[in-house]
Structure 1
């Protein structure tokens, strides 16, 4: 069964697809401030956290720099740098919270906005005040529009907050596509030569971060640099209890794949984990105790990306799953540029043939050549990330591909 057909089957059955391969709401491991919330009850939220702090822009930027907070939407960009860029802009910016959860394997932002929407609103509103924003826009999945709207209606300081339903498709969650959608555009990735924080649609600067990042900003503003000492992970696949869990990530703490999988009840020996989602990479079981790091290029570190950990158990085939993912990614084109429209389908076909065991000796070279043709040529980074996923899969499973060529996969279940 393909990734696409599984999602379609779940939709027809009427079950909520809250993370692609999650056929229903995940368990919530609420052990920290992000997931300990009062839903839409603003009075209860105020009793727990007090009023929204009001640091000026420079003070907030200094706090965020001291905290080391990076974006939790996958890019891990330092939040203080984005804020300082917006502060130097000539025009008043727009603050946008991206809670659209574009990754099929992620449910963390949806869970956060369900159990603790007021923490997200706190972060958005205090950021908007610090940068003198013209407005605050919160983008959420369609099923959460009413819920988040009730949270907004419960607080007088949020009367001007706009709620916008998320766009469709994987590329609809890309930052510039979100910025386009909230300003009445088509909701497609933009051809950008400057960051959104410098100039977004209509040349207005945009401070855009995902929901978890904005909630972490609220914690830093309230409790100081150590406030954002946890982060969220969606753990799915071959685990006992698929869940969204909150784990320590501050100075002096060690968070790794093994800890997250343990929170989900553990996995079978011989499993492998896809970490960071479709733009992430594979981590073998023997490396699950390697600490997470957001610093690119750190030797031995594992980057958590968007906080996705999908476990492929010992009876399932990671190569087959990877081929389905690449095929699905090829179908997520925004239809705006050649690398997506033509390059990714060709790459998916060639990679799929390798996964199916085609013995053609020229196939590996063709896959590498097609990957090179799509990189750095798209309007957004979708083709680059798809090519990177292909490269990561080839590097992670050379023996698996060899077994496929000899039709000796041996996996009882494809995935």
Structure 2
């Protein structure tokens, strides 16, 4: 299976994850074997010690030590599963799709290596349903004749679909949204079994590490963060690409390679990341510590230079509205707080005198209070714009505009047309209990006689979970969703 269109790659430093891709669109199994060989088999403690030796961290954003994940699973002394998170819900990231599309066997190799070490009988690779990545990795599993051990699951792609709890729920056939309470995959994951869950790049890095050994792996990069990292460079870049970079490489060198300049600022870490000032971007280095020193976080390796032609605050509003709409609607800070944050940001760029303080208050109000980290990440993204673009804020407050249009430099998915969802009442059954208004106060009010009146004609996506609950709990079975 050779895809017609594939993500472009570049590199600064040696080719590790991207080896062999200069003259191939996709590495099939013979090409993979010729380039990388086969990863040696290891026991669980041996593999954990190896990951410790180079401080291998998860590459999905949280940077959790991989060795701790291994040890957390093997202490359960039961059947286990390996789950590869390749569900890139982040619109600005392409690295997982690049790996699955162009070098899928590297991901599978790392996952099977981990499965052998912890005694897992099954590997599950979760990716966006219907995409090139799903087709490519499924073909790679067939090439290996590994269909009895490796299962590929396509899930609906949303911003929150890559969150660990949401991913496990989707793989288990449930709605792919955070469970509302912290359940570690190492305790209960796929099928309720202890699950070793990590990002697609993490497993690819694991394969490279075991094949090269720790000394050769650490030949490049920094002493504290050896090896390479995959970056997705987009935004205003003239030559956007997935770039493999040795850690410690100056960020400006990456931007130059992709024909980009810091412009007004650079968004690092994606839409749960932070804006950094152009001056900070000029001296930053590509590593977790280097980006943190510049005021951001490396996260999943997303680098979005803004350029100077678009309004940075307008771009921030576009993304803030998108993030508010991606809420799973299961907690107040997300369901109500994030739309309020987006509205305050929109009011700020029109020159509202009270919007700035209101925005800070509302963003602070959602942090640390959500059922998952979506409110925290959104608040961090919005508040970082206030720090990165003070001159633009002053212009907007004084004149209601900075004079620049919003070009849509930050990528967002095309809006899919979804069927409208409406609440309805069977009046022959309704007895005016009023429970629906208590369960869904954002959707239902009561009239003077205690009967429901609906707020708005349709139920927005972030409130549909709430609406379903109200329908299920109606004691007279009078409330319905159409």
Q: TM-score, normalised by structure 1?
A: 0.87
Shift in Å, 1:28: 1.7
Secondary structure in 2 matching 1:90: coil
Query: Greater CA deviation, 392-401 or 102-111?
Result: 392-401
Alignment equivalent of 1:87, drawn from 53, 74, 88: 74
**Structure 2 Cα separation of the partners of residues 221 and 174 of structure 1:** 27
1:171 aligns with 2:160: yes
Q: Which structure is larger by alpha-carbon Rg, 1 or 2?
A: 2
Secondary structure in 2 matching 1:406: helix
Shift in Å, 1:151: 0.5
**Structure 2 Cα separation of the partners of residues 285 and 375 of structure 1:** 27
Shift in Å, 1:221: 1.4
Give runs of aligned pairs for residues 181-192 of structure 1, distance below 5 A.
181-192=170-181
Alignment equivalent of 1:339, drawn from 312, 328, 333: 333
Shift in Å, 1:213: 1.0
1:195 aligns with 2:184: yes
Query: Greater CA deviation, 321-330 or 186-195?
Result: 186-195
Query: Greater CA deviation, 106-115 or 280-289?
Result: 280-289
Contact 1:234-1:309 at 8 Å conserved across structures: yes
Contact 1:92-1:131 at 8 Å conserved across structures: no
Query: Greater CA deviation, 177-186 or 289-298?
Result: 289-298
Map of 2:15 onto structure 1: 32
Secondary structure in 1 matching 2:234: strand
Shift in Å, 1:70: 1.2
Secondary structure in 1 matching 2:82: strand
**Structure 1 Cα separation of the partners of residues 404 and 296 of structure 2:** 29
Change (3 A) 1:276 1:160: same
Map of 1:413 onto structure 2: 405
**Structure 1 Cα separation of the partners of residues 56 and 50 of structure 2:** 9
Alignment equivalent of 2:83, drawn from 82, 96, 106: 96
**Structure 1 Cα separation of the partners of residues 69 and 181 of structure 2:** 16
Q: Deviations over 1:270-304 (max 9, x none)?
A: 34111110111112222222223325996457531
Map of 1:3 onto structure 2: none
**Structure 2 Cα separation of the partners of residues 401 and 355 of structure 1:** 7
Alignment equivalent of 2:246, drawn from 241, 245, 248: 248
Contact 1:71-1:79 at 8 Å conserved across structures: yes
Map of 1:109 onto structure 2: 96
Structure number with higher relative contact order (C-alpha < 8 Å, ≥ 6 residues apart): 1
State the superposition RMSD in angstroms. 2.3
Contact 1:270-1:313 at 8 Å conserved across structures: yes
Change (3 A) 1:231 1:299: closer
Shift in Å, 1:56: 0.6
Shift in Å, 1:69: 1.4
Map of 1:206 onto structure 2: 195
Shift in Å, 1:149: 0.9
Give runs of aligned pairs for residues 3-402 of structure 1, distance below 5 A.
26-29=7-10, 32-37=15-20, 39=26, 41-141=28-128, 142-143=130-131, 144-157=133-146, 159-200=148-189, 203-225=192-214, 226-227=216-217, 229-249=227-247, 254-267=248-261, 270-288=263-281, 289-295=283-289, 299-300=293-294, 302-359=296-353, 361=354, 363-402=355-394
Change (3 A) 1:237 1:93: same
Q: Deviations over 1:149-189 (max 9, x none)?
A: 11000113454210111323111221111111112222211
**Structure 2 Cα separation of the partners of residues 408 and 355 of structure 1:** 6
Map of 2:431 onto structure 1: none
Shift in Å, 1:95: 0.8
Change (3 A) 1:296 1:199: farther
Q: TM-score, normalised by structure 2?
A: 0.75
**Structure 2 Cα separation of the partners of residues 260 and 94 of structure 1:** 37
List runs of 5+ in structure 1 lacking aligned partners: 1-15, 17-23
**Structure 1 Cα separation of the partners of residues 191 and 200 of structure 2:** 24
**Structure 2 Cα separation of the partners of residues 349 and 301 of structure 1:** 26
